[in-house]
Structure 1
Amino acid sequence: MSERRRLTTLETVHENRSWLFTIRDQYGEPDEAILVPCGDGVEAWINRCTHEAQRFDTGRGAAMRDGQIICPKHGSMFDSCSGYCDNGEAADTTLPAVDVSVDDGVVYLTDDTVTFAHEGGIDEGDDGDDDDGPASTSHIGF
């Protein structure tokens, strides 16, 4: 098992309803994951609906209701503890899990198949580019 990586606190996840972070797979490709409350603990899932790869959390927190993560596009609801969806366009699918553990109120990434890149979404990386738009030499902004 690889070394665990501190992510955040259990309290933060429960207060904010979700916590977005970026991971890298074995090939170095980035992906997003979210921590969500599950009973008194937390679970981590890849940050996209199984139906159309719609992001649950775009940087403002995932929509949640009654222990379920809600897809903002079609309304499919995924159980925050099992990742399973029994309704809507994503029915009978399960979110890909990311292994985490909790020790003394601190959440750690323990998944051997990914590495932690940074807190926040892929676009919030520390690549040195603070501009939110595409690179361009044009003086016109949108």
Structure 2
Amino acid sequence: MTTGPTRLADVSDVPETGSYLFTVREADGGREEVILVRLADGVAAWKNFCQHETDQRLDRGSGAAMRDGEILCPKHGSMFDARTGYCDDGKAAGATLVEVEVTVEEGVVSLTDERCEFLHEGGIEEDDGMPGTSSHLSF
């Protein structure tokens, strides 16, 4: 879908703890939220849902909860490695977050994943079909 890199943000726009949320259109026309998380040497991008329950967003609009280089699911506490997306504990143990390809060049993060197209910064509005959440936990 993407014909070339699409500028998303400066690396400095991605919080050191938390996430930067944006929305993409996938090849099938559906929309999906994606989070950028800061790594010691760059950024990683993951689709914004827990592998245990795909209707559970990791970033609900105020940044994903993170601890010691891991992204936490706010419902069950599963912890995903921010670099690899792999979960080794909790209800999502053995699962890996869905990666979205990005690059960093001269301090600018760009979407390079040919399977999706950047739509806008921020998440999908709940009245646009994004499932709500049944949890009110925050970290």
Instruction: Provide the TM-score with structure 2 as the length reference.
Output: 0.86
C-alpha distance in 2, partners of 1:119/1:101? 17
Shift of 1:14: 3.4
- Going from structure 1 to structure 2, the CA distance change for 1:89 and 1:18 (only over 3 Å counts) comes to same
What per-residue deviation string (whole Å, max 9, x for no partner) do you get for residues 29-67 of structure 1? 100000001222000000000001110101110000000
How is 1:1-142 mapped onto 2 (pairs within 5 angstroms)?
A: 2-15=3-16, 17-53=18-54, 54-123=56-125
Structure 1 runs, 4 residues or longer, greater than 6 Å off: none
More helix by share: 1
Mean CA deviation greater in 8-17 or 78-87: 8-17
C-alpha distance in 2, partners of 1:97/1:84? 11
SS state of the match for residue 93, structure 1?
coil
- How many residues of Structure 1 are paired with residues of Structure 2 in the alignment? 126
C-alpha distance in 2, partners of 1:38/1:15? 8
- Going from structure 1 to structure 2, the CA distance change for 1:16 and 1:85 (only over 3 Å counts) comes to closer
Shift of 1:12: 1.4
Matched letter for residue 42 of structure 2: G
Unpaired runs of 5+ residues, structure 1, are 128-142
Bigger-Rg structure (1/2): 1
Report the identity percentage.
56
Matched letter for residue 44 of structure 2: E
SS state of the match for residue 82, structure 1?
coil
Instruction: Provide the TM-score with structure 1 as the length reference.
Output: 0.84
Shift of 1:15: 4.1
**Cα-Cα RMSD:** 1.8
